[in-house]
Structure 1
Amino acid sequence: MYSAMTTDSRRPWKKNLYENVDYEDNYTDPSFLQDLQTNINVKFYTLPEAIQGATKLTNQMSCITGFLIVFYLLFYEKASPTDILLPSGLATCLGYVLCHGRQLKFTDLIEDSKTLLAVLIFGYIFSPLLHKLTDAISTDTICTMTVFVFILNLVFHDYGLDVAMVSKTISLNAEIFGSICLASRLSSSYSAFVLLVQSAIFFVLYPIFTARYWRPWYMGPIFIICCSFLYGISTEGFYIYIVIIVFINFVCPLIFVYQQKYKRNIHGPWDEAIVDEASSIDKEL
């Protein structure tokens, strides 16, 4: 009887810490969970959407694979630098025309040509310096650093997501550093110059083209090219490349879509308060 009267005599519980002196510290009133909401603003993705998003990652992985194939051809002298430079230059010109289309102006063409010419001239002049830049470092260390920076490139690359992890600066610097490391292992400064040009094509120009006109099937040509070269270089590398691409591009989206049913985000009065600036200004006015 006494405990019941004591309970009834308590003041009503409020969501205010300083007014609940009559209640235990761990007391929770039933009204506290009335504002509980689940899965607010949660987006559920379809399988085609998930596959399209994964394709952007595998496309970047194919870019790195293609660049490493070019390095292999130059390092083991399977192809001359000129044989690599001319086709890639033609492909770059074709991509430039496709990017601009009918909007291409003669003045823009002249300015872009000046920029390209300046980059090529300075790159050719400084290629002997870059070629000898890491002579004192062992090849094993160079390979380890290259793998590390290319992983950084994959992690921080811009895949079209507005997240804090995306950093174009870190991604681009990692690509440049890895390219210089590999260029220093080549036999001549001209080969190093060609490899640096390929680095600009794979990691600067091609991402600009895909970001502007991205379609999932764009990955098809570079995937086929990488497969054809890898099959001639190493069958083990060929199968590993295919397994990784298929796993990331199809298996991971299937797992992701299946696991979406377990999404459960809860929102309630315990969340951090968000000030609605618009309504606050209206009230002051």
Structure 2
Amino acid sequence: MGRHTITMEPKKRWKKVLYEDQGVPDNYVDESFLDEMQKNVHIRTYHYWSVVQESGVVTQQICSVCLFVAMFLFMDDKVLSPKVLFCVSSFLTIIGYCIHELLEYMEEDSDNMQTRTGWSAMKTVLMFVAFSYGLSPILMTLTDTISTDTVYAMTAAMLLANLLFHDYGADAAVVSGALSLNAAIFASVCLASRLHTTWHAFTTVTLAVEVFALWPVLRRKLKVKVKHSQLVLTIILTLVTVVTIATLSTVAAVLLTLLYVFITFVCPAWLISLQPYKNNIYGPWDEAEIKD
């Protein structure tokens, strides 16, 4: 009886391709599929005091909202004159603009560019002042048919939206500078409609633009260009805000102080404690990235 030799063909190694028939279902993977898996590739290690310092951007925005509301209450109680507030806020805005342009000049070092920027800014300011003052009588009667409680509720919701969607420097989908600014302006219009004269309405809207549109730009510029300015601004704004709120309500000032302590010291410690639980995985199942 003759001998028959049985030749065993070597098993073909599976490849991660879909254009070739390998005799297996399309969703089949072998043990080599997880060889490319990586964990925490782009993980960032946070340090407590650096997080405490970065939390200042949140504290500063909360201070801005509280000071804006405090100025409204002072005008509503006729403790503060709208003309005085307008002059003081305009003077501080001019100083802030000069600081911003000085930082820009040191960076760009171009006289022509600064001249054009200054002239453009001047025209924008004049147009805004003219339109705001001209529309102030309309703002006074804009919410006459709406109850005061409803107006205050809408204002609180809009200011909360300003805090939620404000650009704190994080790359997140929830960040929307336009939505945050529009919410703040809407809140200022609601409050302006509950004040006494056209000067009150004009000053309220102007203050909102200065606080929620111009002030954050200067804060970001100082943070990038001036060392330790973040810490100094946070301390100054916190003290000014707490003292200002204390003149209105001691309880509110205490609660605001506790909120600042929670955001500045407790939340960073909470974030640091959660770092060991972070576990991101990367592998061949991720979407392809086009690299230059």
Q: TM-score, normalised by structure 1?
A: 0.85
Distance 1:204 1:185 in 2: 22
Cross-structure match for 1:189: 198
Relative to structure 1, the CA distance from residue 12 to residue 98 in structure 2 (aligned partners, 3 Å threshold; closer, same or farther) is same
Is 1:249 the counterpart of 2:264 in the alignment? yes
* Paired residues of 1:51 and 1:253 also in contact (CA < 8 A): yes
Name the residue aligned to 1:4: none
Q: Deviations over 1:212-231 (max 9, x none)?
A: 11232212222222111111
Alignment-derived partner of residue 174 in structure 2 = 165
Task: Rate the CA distance shift 1:119–1:170 in 2: closer, same or farther, 3 A.
Answer: same
Contact 1:35 1:269 in 2 (8 A): yes
**2:53 corresponding residue in structure 1:** 52
Secondary structure at the aligned position of 1:44 is classed as: coil
Helix, strand or coil at the partner of 1:34? helix
CA distance 1:20–1:254, shift in 2 (3 Å): farther
Task: Provide the C-alpha distance between the structure 1 equivalents of 2:117 and 2:126, rounded to a whole number of angstroms.
Answer: 14
Counterpart code for 1:265: N
Partner of 2:123: 114
**Percent identity at matched positions?**
33
| Structure 1 match to 2:149 | 140
- Work out the CA distance in 1 between the residues paired with 2:239 and 2:79: 19
Deviations 1:99-124 (A, max 9, x none): 22284856654443333222212211
**Map of 1:1-285 to 2, 5 A cutoff?**
11=11, 14=14, 15=16, 19=22, 21=24, 29-101=30-102, 103=105, 108-214=117-223, 215-216=229-230, 217-276=232-291, 278=292
Gaps of 5+ in 1: 1-7, 279-285
**8 A contact 2:63–2:241 mirrored in 1:** yes
Shift of 1:42: 1.2
Q: Which runs of 5+ in 2 are unaligned?
A: 1-7, 106-110, 224-228
What is the alpha-carbon distance in structure 2 between the residues aligned to residue 250 and residue 48 of structure 1? 9
1:282 match: none
**How many residues align structurally?**
268
Residues 99 and 209 of structure 1 are in contact (CA less than 8 Å); yes or no, is this contact kept in structure 2? yes
Paired amino acid for 1:204 = A
Which residue pairs with 2:226 in the alignment?
A: none
